[in-house]
Amino acid sequence: MGNNWIVIRIHPEQAKERGIQNRDIIKVFNDRGTVLGIAQITERVRPGVIHCYTSSGKYDPLEKGKAYSPDRGGCINLLTRFGCFRKTPRAWPAIHAWLRLRNGTEANDEKLRDDH
């Protein structure tokens, strides 16, 4: 069995600037952590924006027990500020965060591709 990567959508211009190809392992990160995923290059997102539909229910850090170890389980909410805008929420709002994006060339090693 392989890894179930989260799909991260990126605009073609942004992908080209970073040397990212369709289905590359990429990493999105900020001061809260790093999440790895598979790039899907599409014009359905605006330049300067990355998008994924959902977060994974499986937290799977590369180095278990190590703080800020990159997550390959797709827990994209690791990168967002946790909280709600209302005291009594009826639903969670759409969540956004400032992120950086990088081609995962240094991440494309055997450690990432190992099966569980």
Query: Residue 34 belongs to a domain with what CATH number?
Result: 2.40.40.20
Please give the residue that has the higher pLDDT: either 58 or 2: 58
Residue 113 lies in a domain: no
Exposure of 104 in the CB half-sphere (CA atoms within 13 A): 25
Whether the pLDDT of residue 16 is over 80: the answer is yes
Total domains, the chain: 1
Confidence at residue 49, expressed as pLDDT on a 0 to 100 scale: 85
Instruction: Work out the average pLDDT over 4-17.
Output: 90
Domain assignment present for residue 109? The answer is: no
Residues 85-112: pLDDT tens digits?
555 555 555 555 655 666 665 544 444 4
Q: Say if CB 29 and CB 71 are below 8 A apart.
A: no
Tell whether 90 is covered by a domain.
Answer: no
Q: Pull the structure tokens for residue 106.
A: 């240094």
CA distances from 107 to 27, 80, 84, 86, 110 (A): 8, 22, 33, 39, 9
Does 43 reside within a domain? yes
**For residue 48, is it within any domain?**
yes
* Residue range 33-79, pLDDT digits in tens: 888 989 999 999 999 888 887 655 688 888 998 888 899 888 887 88
Would you place residue 116 in the very low, low, confident or very high pLDDT band (cuts 50, 70, 90)?
A: very low
- Structural domain of residue 36, as residue ranges? 6-81+95-104
Classify residue 110: in a domain, yes or no. no
